[in-house]
Amino acid sequence: MILTGPEITEAAFDGRVEITPFSSDQVNPNSYNVRLGDTLRTYTDQVIDARRDNHTQEIRLPEDGFVLEPDQLYLGHTVERVGSDHFVPLLFGRSSVGRLGLFVEITAPIGDIGFHGQWTLMLSAVRPLRVYPGMKIGQIMFFVSMGEIDLYKGKYQAAAGPQESRFWRDPVTLA
C-alpha cells in the first residue's frame, strides 16, 4: 500500500514520517515533491575505482543555475531531510524533469526504514541542462511494510549534502 497525499501530511505532523522542512504545496496525490539542494559533487579521477575512496569536487549551485553536461555523473542532494521508522520511502525523478532529459535516481530509489537525512541524488543529463537550487526535482512515495522492522543503521545515516559512494568500506562487497 502507498500512502496518499493526505496521509503523508498526517504522518508528517504526527511523526511517523520526517520531512523537514515540510510544505503543504509539495504534497501530491500519493507522493511528496523534494527539491534540489545547493551543492553538487563530481568525481575527479579519470577512472572511478570501486575498491577505494575516489576524489570528488564540490560545486555550489548559483541562483542563476548550473549547466549539467552529458556523460558526467553529478551527485546532488535534497533540500529536505526525509525518513521514516514506519514506512519504506522510494524516491523517483519527477516526470516533468525526465521530459527535460534529466535522469534522477535510476539505480537506487529505495530508502531503508529508519534512514533519516538528506537524500543523495544521482543526476545524469542527456543534453546540456541548466538546473537551479530549490527546483522540484523528485518525489518520494511511502509504502507500508509488513513484518518485523529492523531500522537502518548504515553508513549514510543522517546524511547532509551529497554523499559519494562508500562501497569500498564494505569488505563483503569486495570479495
For residue range 136-150, what is the model confidence (pLDDT) as tens digits?
999 999 999 999 999
Contact by Cβ (8 Å): 74, 123 = yes
**Digit-coded pLDDT (tens) for 92-132:** 999 999 999 999 987 778 899 999 999 999 999 999 999 99
Contact by Cβ (8 Å): 142, 34 = no
Amino acid 170 reads: D
- Compute the distance between CA of residue 97 and CA of residue 55 in angstroms, rounded to an integer: 28
Mean predicted confidence (pLDDT) in 53-60: 96
The pLDDT of residue 3 is 98
More confident residue, 64 or 160: 64
Q: Which helix (H) or strand (E) holds 102?
A: strand 102-104
Q: Which band of pLDDT confidence, cut at 50, 70 and 90, is reported for residue 154?
A: confident
pLDDT averaged over the chain? 94
pLDDT over 70 for what percent of the chain? 97
The pLDDT of residue 89 is 97
The pLDDT of residue 166 is 84
Distances (CA, A) of 106 to 67, 74, 91, 138: 20, 13, 9, 12
Q: Which band of pLDDT confidence, cut at 50, 70 and 90, is reported for residue 2?
A: very high
Assign residue 147 a region (left: φ > 0; alpha: ψ between -120 and 50; beta: otherwise).
left
CATH of 1-42+66-146, one of 2.40.160.40, 3.40.47.10, 2.70.40.10, 3.40.50.620: 2.70.40.10
The pLDDT of residue 158 is 87
The pLDDT of residue 171 is 65
pLDDT at 62 over 60: yes
pLDDT at 173 over 60: no
The pLDDT of residue 133 is 98
Phi, psi of 171 (to 5 degrees): -60, -25
The pLDDT of residue 175 is 53
Q: Which helix (H) or strand (E) holds 30?
A: none
Beta strands 87-93 and 102-104 are: unpaired
pLDDT at 168 over 90: no
The pLDDT of residue 174 is 53
Q: Quick check: helix, strand or coil at residue 74?
A: strand
